[in-house]
Amino acid sequence: MQVVHTIKEVRETVKEWRKEGLSVALVPTMGYLHEGHLSLMKAAKAGNDKVVVSVFVNPTQFGPNEDFESYPRDLDRDASLCENVGVDLVFNPEPSEMYHDDFSSFVDMNTLTGNLCGKTRPIHFRGVCTVVSKLFHIVKPDRAYFGQKDAQQLLVIKHMVEDLNEDIEIVGCPIVREEDGLAKSSRNTYLSPEERQAALVLSKAVFAGEKLVKEGEKDANKVLSEMRAIIESEPLAKIDYVQMVSQKNIEDVEVIDGPVLCAMAVYIGKTRLIDNFMI
């Protein structure tokens, strides 16, 4: 496995693979890898000849008061985890490699990004769409793998690829959880032991909401009230949002009569965590 830092090196390696007629997958990440990321890499390895993993904490998707500086980073550990699951190339650029001084072109979206996380993080999806587009242009993969953990992101990227006629298959992969239910996340490392315990209200609420919908509840507000009550029972938890939206346009629904995404963002102390179910 190779670890490279420049766009030129990625292009040269992928070009050689293409000459041999090999298929190529991309798994974009911000690093500090865990089992959730590794599940995407394993799926990528199973469906493609070669797997590229990008490890890049993308500055343009963080707001001014967010955790860009403090986001955990450990390239050596990430590289050995990637190697263990058979990744072929790790691309770890510096921000200056991705954004030159007079960088001024962004990929933005008029729909899908104004609700849920886009409400609290207004520039987030513009940064995500821009960096993912750039990675697509650099690697030119056949397939790219994204987790359902970031469900809005997955729907946004699928929409972007369709809008821009990118010839790339977007593969969504299920949420990987800790044994007690907490969705795995690099940000879980911010939690104190007490907060780690409190964070279980997210998955508890997700499981309770999912059960209600599976049992036939069609009233979105009933499901959401039950979920909010579970989260509000925890003094360390503060709800950012808990919403039921259509998977098609990410607009709120009152009646559950088609594919929905039920998503939440909750502060546990200062750490903002997300979780969801799709049905």
Q: Is 37 tagged catalytic?
A: yes
- Look at the block and give the residue holding tokens 């959401």: 224
Question: Looking at 37, 100, 124, 159, which residue is catalytic?
Answer: 37
User: Which of 54, 152, 186, 276 contacts ligand AMP by CB under 6 A?
Assistant: 186
- Residues in 151-180 that interact with ligand AMP by CB under 6 A: 173, 175-176
141 binds ligand AMP (CB under 6 A): no
> Among the candidate windows 35-43, 63-71, 110-118, 264-272, which touches ligand AMP by CB under 6 A?
35-43
271 binds ligand AMP (CB under 6 A): no
Pair 32, 25: CB distance under 8 Å: no
> Among the candidate windows 37-45, 101-109, 249-257, 262-270, which touches ligand AMP by CB under 6 A?
37-45
134 binds ligand AMP (CB under 6 A): no
Nearest distance in Å: CB 30, ligand AMP: 4
Pairing of strands 271-278, 260-268: antiparallel
Nearest distance in Å: CB 130, ligand AMP: 14
Closest CA to 206 of 250, 242, 260, 156: 242
Tokens, residue 40: 């995407």
30 binds ligand AMP (CB under 6 A): yes
Pair 155, 129: CB distance under 8 Å: no
264 binds ligand AMP (CB under 6 A): no
CB-CB neighbours of 210 under 10 Å: 17
Three-state SS at 146:
strand
Burial (Cβ within 10 Å: 0-12, 13-18, ≥19) of residue 242: buried
136 binds ligand AMP (CB under 6 A): no
Nearest distance in Å: CB 172, ligand AMP: 9
147 binds ligand AMP (CB under 6 A): yes
Pair 73, 95: CB distance under 8 Å: no
d(C-alpha 146, C-alpha 255), whole Å: 28
Closest CA to 181 of 201, 154, 209: 201
Residue 133 or 186 having the CB closest to ligand AMP: 186
d(C-alpha 210, C-alpha 227), whole Å: 10
> Among the candidate windows 46-54, 142-150, 199-207, 260-268, which touches ligand AMP by CB under 6 A?
142-150
> Among the candidate windows 10-18, 32-40, 200-208, 213-221, which touches ligand AMP by CB under 6 A?
32-40
Residue 39 or 115 having the CB closest to ligand AMP: 39
User: How close are the terminal C-alpha atoms of the chain, in Å?
Assistant: 38
d(C-alpha 54, C-alpha 31), whole Å: 8
What residues act catalytically?
Answer: 37
Q: Which positions lie near ligand AMP, rule CB under 6 A? A: 29-30, 36-37, 39-40, 146-147, 149-150, 173, 175-176, 183-186
